[in-house]
Structure 1
């Protein structure tokens, strides 16, 4: 089922909390959420027997889920060692930000050519939603921000770009939540409104420059975010508990 641009970023795992897992898809959704929100800790080698017991499932659907998650870039598969959680390190996070910037700049240029006024009106409404979210908690802010950027990329009318952004959103969700929760308030919501105005003016050049500045993160800032992320993971991980409905 296609999710609406305004949907919250919380994955299907919130609906799984406390529920028995009956299918490979549900096992996949649960393990994916555990990896995305670091209930499985960074660089941790996955003990399939223990994880199957923890989830109350057999190893067959779990192995299917692990294979799928490794193919999608959420886990690492190593010959003769099984699966492990991706590391939370500055270089890897920087590559995600760089990829996201490149992807969204390309999408913005296409949207400047292809977006109709109705689509831009919807984007403007989502920009206002991000402005209204600034007094809310970090997860609500993240939901509003993801909705804006997802709709902007949708305006490029390129299904591969949209699929890539949705995957990036999931892989970056924890660190972006940390950035919003622990970081200093910025002007990113005002920049959303400016992007809409530049798209209406069909000014792809100025829009691309703004998008680059909007997404870019310096390595020192990423290192600070990761330090805060590790502190969160090893002192209760309130975000994982909120999404998954379980304890560390």
Structure 2
């Protein structure tokens, strides 16, 4: 039994990574026979893993047709951003009530230690890792495991587009004006002052600013997925 569970976990992790990075094209039908050979997995653990990814929103299932990769449209990405706003703002509201001063101080220290690296990072993947770490630590202060689990799933499903958006921002945007507070700093100031409304407003503005760029990011994503690169 333990060996079977381990095999399902191995197949699930491999498939989850593939789905998150659009190794399958948007709306592409999953060829289970080919996938079974590629992953060295039998039908049972493969099906269990595929069904789990359907439940998590990475894949879809159609009766009599099988499993498909999720769609990639501006509406889909905007929907994810809207859910992210709801999850993070609610977590922030709870954090203003529940977080210990020492926990807020620790997160402030993390931001202080990483923000300069974030601003100057040449690798968008490294920037995204630091950003996700900050937001996950922030949600964790709410003490709500389900909100934390929801944000982790959202991050995984939106990561491909966020990387494209960060690359585009790096090429287009100038550095922040010296002395200007970052969005993360404004959020933490609200949290430290137990100002739930102010913190939520800063969080909402921070996330929705990137939501507005979803259409262009999706267009770039399609060009990368379907147009052969030199």
2:225 pairs, out of 215, 223, 233, with 233
Q: From the superposition, tell whether residues 228 and 56 of structure 1 become closer, same or farther in structure 2 (CA, over 3 Å).
A: same
How many Å apart are 1:181 and its aligned residue?
1.5
Task: Indicate yes or no: 2:39 matched with 1:55.
Answer: yes
Matches within 5 A, 1:122-161: 122-128=106-112, 129-136=114-121, 137-161=123-147
Q: From the superposition, tell whether residues 163 and 97 of structure 1 become closer, same or farther in structure 2 (CA, over 3 Å).
A: same
Higher helix residue share? 2
3-state SS of paired residue (1:45) = coil
CA distance in 1, matches of 2:83, 2:70: 17
TM-score, structure 2 normalization: 0.87
3-state SS of paired residue (1:216) = helix
TM-score, structure 1 normalization: 0.81
How many Å apart are 1:53 and its aligned residue?
1.6
Query: Quick one: higher RCO (CA 8 Å, sep 6+), 1 or 2?
Result: 1
Partner of 2:203: 211
Q: Deviations over 1:86-142 (max 9, x none)?
A: 010011110100000011111111111111111112211232314422222110000
How many Å apart are 1:218 and its aligned residue?
7.0
Q: Which runs of 5+ in 1 are unaligned?
A: 1-21, 238-248
Partner of 1:24: 8
Asked if the contact 1:52/1:62 (under 8 Å) is kept, the reply is yes
Q: Deviations over 1:152-200 (max 9, x none)?
A: 1111111111111111111111111111112344769811112111111
CA distance in 2, matches of 1:116, 1:46: 47
Asked if the contact 1:36/1:173 (under 8 Å) is kept, the reply is yes
Partner of 1:73: 57
2:20 pairs, out of 36, 58, 69, with 36
Partner of 1:171: 157
Q: From the superposition, tell whether residues 62 and 209 of structure 1 become closer, same or farther in structure 2 (CA, over 3 Å).
A: same
Q: From the superposition, tell whether residues 121 and 219 of structure 1 become closer, same or farther in structure 2 (CA, over 3 Å).
A: closer
Matches within 5 A, 1:78-89: 78-89=62-73
Instruction: Please identify, of 159-168 and 217-226, the stretch whose mean Cα deviation from structure 2 is larger.
Output: 217-226
RMSD: 2.0
Runs of 4+ in 1 over 4 A off after TM superposition: 186-189, 217-220
Residue correspondences, number? 216
Partner of 2:3: none
3-state SS of paired residue (2:213) = helix
How many Å apart are 1:59 and its aligned residue?
2.2
Asked if the contact 1:126/1:147 (under 8 Å) is kept, the reply is no
CA distance in 2, matches of 1:217, 1:41: 27
CA distance in 2, matches of 1:122, 1:233: 40
Asked if the contact 1:97/1:217 (under 8 Å) is kept, the reply is no
Asked which structure has the greater CA Rg, the reply is 2
